[in-house]
Structures are given as C-alpha cells and as structure tokens.
Amino acid sequence: MKIAISATGPTLDSEVDPRFGRCQCFILADTDTKDFEVMDNNSAAAAGGAGISTAQMIAARGVESVITGNCGPNAHQVLSAAGIKIVTGVSGKIKDVMEAYRLGAYEPATQPNVADHYGLGQSRAAGGSTGTGRFAGTGRGMGRGMGRGMGRGMGMSGGMGGGIIPLPATGPSSGAEEEIENLKARSQSLADQLAEIQQRLDEITGR
C-alpha cells in the first residue's frame, strides 16, 4: 500500500509534521516493500489555499492513505473525494509511524480535526476584537480602560472598536533607532486617537 506522511525532513528518522498543507515535505512509502521517496511540498509557502493544492498534489501521486498531524476541511474534502483515507493526530518518527500503520494501529478520520485556515486563525484569535474602527485590533491591555467609555468607539465603529495600540514588540537584536521609530509611531497613533475622541466629544456636547 502506498501512503503519504507529512514530514519535517527527508529521512525516515524525521518527525511527522503536524501541518498537512504547509509541511516541509512528504514521505511517499510502500508499506509492503518499505521503499520510499521524498516529495517536496511546493505549496508550503503559498499565501493561501495551501491545503487544497497540497491535497491535489498528493492525490495525483496515487496514494491510498495520508498520515499527518492536522488536516483542515478543504484538504480533507479534496482527499476524501479522491478516495484517499486520512489519518490525523499522528506524531513520532516516520519509520515508527510506517510500521505502526502496517500493523493496523491507526483508524482513518471521518472528518477534519482542525478548522479552516487553522494556522492563520491562531494569529487572529490572539488579536482579540474584530471591530471595524480605526484601530480594530486587540482592545486589551492598555486599550481596555479607554475603550470602554467611548460609546460608538474609534472610527465611528459600533461598540468599542479598538483600543490603544500596544507598543510593538522588539527583539533583543533591535537597536535604538528601531525603538525610537516604534515609539514615534505609537505616539502618533495616540495623538490621532485623542484627536478623534475630542472630535466626538465636541459633536456630542454640541460645541
């Protein structure tokens, strides 16, 4: 049986890559002969649709099963339509996974185990608010105190809109010039927000 395993590297000692659509490569293996070949994942760096294009690439190679960590709904649909069994939630070394599969240790998944755009969604979830104000974003930390009492919010959005933009994180290698630019950008953002607050107050009070 020919199987495809999402891998972090090109050897049997490599680990299973938890990402299907954006894994580094695939190990295409024959569980009967234990022969294998490596297929680079050209869709790993795609801006979008990585899961679908990767699934189509795998389907074209005639594999019967895919083994990976996570598989989203789009890729799952393409693979299922091609009659390919999908095993998710797998980790460990490729060689161990191959043997476990040969011995029947895994059951095919009947549905995706992560949401659509799972990788990208993590960064969105960390952002908090999805308001449409001028600075739609976190609304957390320093932004929370000011955001509550603004009525219609920044940029005339419904609800709180956004909050004060937090200070951009700088890594240990950032120099003084970069920190100065970050501080200037934050200062300008605060000034813009204060100007909008004052404008809204003037509108409400009829000044």
Q: Is the pTM for the entire model greater than 0.75?
A: no
Mean pLDDT is lowest, of 29-43, 59-73, 119-133, 186-200, for 119-133
Indicate if 40 and 98 belong to the same structural domain: yes
Pair of tokens at residue 160: 């709180």
Mean pLDDT is lowest, of 7-21, 61-75, 188-202, for 188-202
Indicate if 18 and 40 belong to the same structural domain: yes
Higher pLDDT, 21 or 120: 21
Indicate if 78 and 133 belong to the same structural domain: no
Domain region containing 8? 2-120
Q: What does the alpha-carbon distance between residue 158 and residue 146 come to, in Å, rounded to a whole number?
A: 15
Neighbours of 85 (CB within 10 A): 17
**Residue 53 contacts by C-beta under 8 Å, 6 or more apart in sequence?**
21, 43, 46
Place of tokens 């992560």: 114
Indicate if 106 and 134 belong to the same structural domain: no
Domain boundary, last residue among 120, 154, 177: 120
Indicate if 107 and 172 belong to the same structural domain: no
Q: What does the alpha-carbon distance between residue 98 and residue 126 come to, in Å, rounded to a whole number?
A: 36
Domain boundary, last residue among 90, 120, 150: 120
